[in-house]
Amino acid sequence: MRGRPSSGSPRSVTEATEATEATEATNATGVPPRSPESRLTMTVPLVPRPGAPATTVIGPRIPALRKGIAILQVLSGSASPVPASVLARRIDAPRSTTYQLLQVLVDEGLVVHIPESQGYALAVGVFELGSAYLRHHLLENIGRPVLTSLAGTLGHTAHMGVLHGHETLYLLKEQPARPTTLVTAVGVRLPAQLTASGRTMLAQLSDAQIAAIFPTKDRFVDRTGAGPTTLRELRELLRADRERGWAIEHGSTTENVTCIAAAAVDNVGLPVLSVGVSFFSDRVPAEDYGRIAAELTDAAAKLSRHFGGLRGVGA
């Protein structure tokens, strides 16, 4: 038969010490202290779901998480960077708390600080999270039919991509009856400044946001010797893309391949994705570019309406 621990065992000594400390703390404050285990977690009362029976409860409410989500919601509704002081008022939180929340969001890649504007904006991490939803629902149910139609109507390889930091990530691809072998396979990432798909999305961003995505010269990767190599050159190209309403590149990613693309945007004009087609440069006359671009901008406008946007690139 197993006996009880002796009074001199380490376990009983620890228990006795903790009991003594608890008694002394209670006598001094009138409130029993937390156990060592409970100090590791924060106990929050469970709140019944509205309209649910009194016995039904939901998980603990985490105020910091709610405030963090509130920051993302405010930024998502603003087309320009928002100062921390404005965010603090909008989410009804102390400025010190707001700065702490912003630092976490910046560290996680969901928010970016724009020094020139002394404000904060959504970062590429938000687009990455959104792209997961796009891949699982919108892309298959909405995007693929659009690409299938483009590939059939234009007779060129059609593809759909999203911004992934300073790169274009291709998520969908549809081939015509006679496909063209290209590098824009699903899952491939290419430098955004070199691709028409990437540039048409970058054209929807502000100069400050572009500078944040391309902070140093080493971001300007070269593949074929064509394409922008500096921030100034990129901004000039993007200005032309905005005025034109779509982007085009010749041989920047693959020699003798031309790509034309247009962007779909959300309700505040931020880029959600791009639709584009690629073809061998020597097989399509320049006179056809306008007709191809018109089909793409129409497709982008159709997709924009699904995201709450009422316009396409450059509009």
Nearest to 176 by CA among 196, 193, 153, 160: 153
Dist. CA 106–CA 303, nearest whole Å: 29
One-letter amino acid of 306? H
Helix (H, G, I), strand (E, B) or coil at 313: coil
CATH code reported for the domain at 63-122: 1.10.10.10
Give pLDDT, residue 41.
33
Structure tokens at 23: 């008694």
Q: In the prediction, which pLDDT does 20 show?
A: 41
The tens-digit pLDDT sequence of the chain (315 residues) is 444 444 443 333 334 334 444 443 334 334 344 433 333 333 333 333 444 444 333 445 678 889 999 999 999 888 789 999 999 999 999 999 999 999 999 998 899 998 888 899 988 788 777 766 665 666 677 888 999 999 999 999 999 998 888 899 888 889 887 766 665 677 788 999 999 999 999 999 998 899 989 988 888 888 777 888 899 999 999 999 999 999 999 888 888 899 999 999 988 888 989 999 999 988 999 999 999 999 999 999 999 988 776 443 333
Q: Are strands 271-280 and 257-266 parallel, antiparallel or unpaired?
A: antiparallel
| Residue 272 to residue 297: CA distance in whole angstroms | 14
DSSP letter at 219?
G
Instruction: Please tell me the CATH code under which domain 125-312 is placed.
Output: 3.30.450.40
pLDDT score for 75? 92
User: What is each CA distance from 303 to 160, 226, 266, 300, in whole angstroms?
Assistant: 11, 30, 9, 5
For the whole model, what pTM was predicted? 0.58
Q: Give ranges for CATH 1.10.10.10 in the chain.
A: 63-122
Q: For tokens 């003798």, name the residue.
A: 256
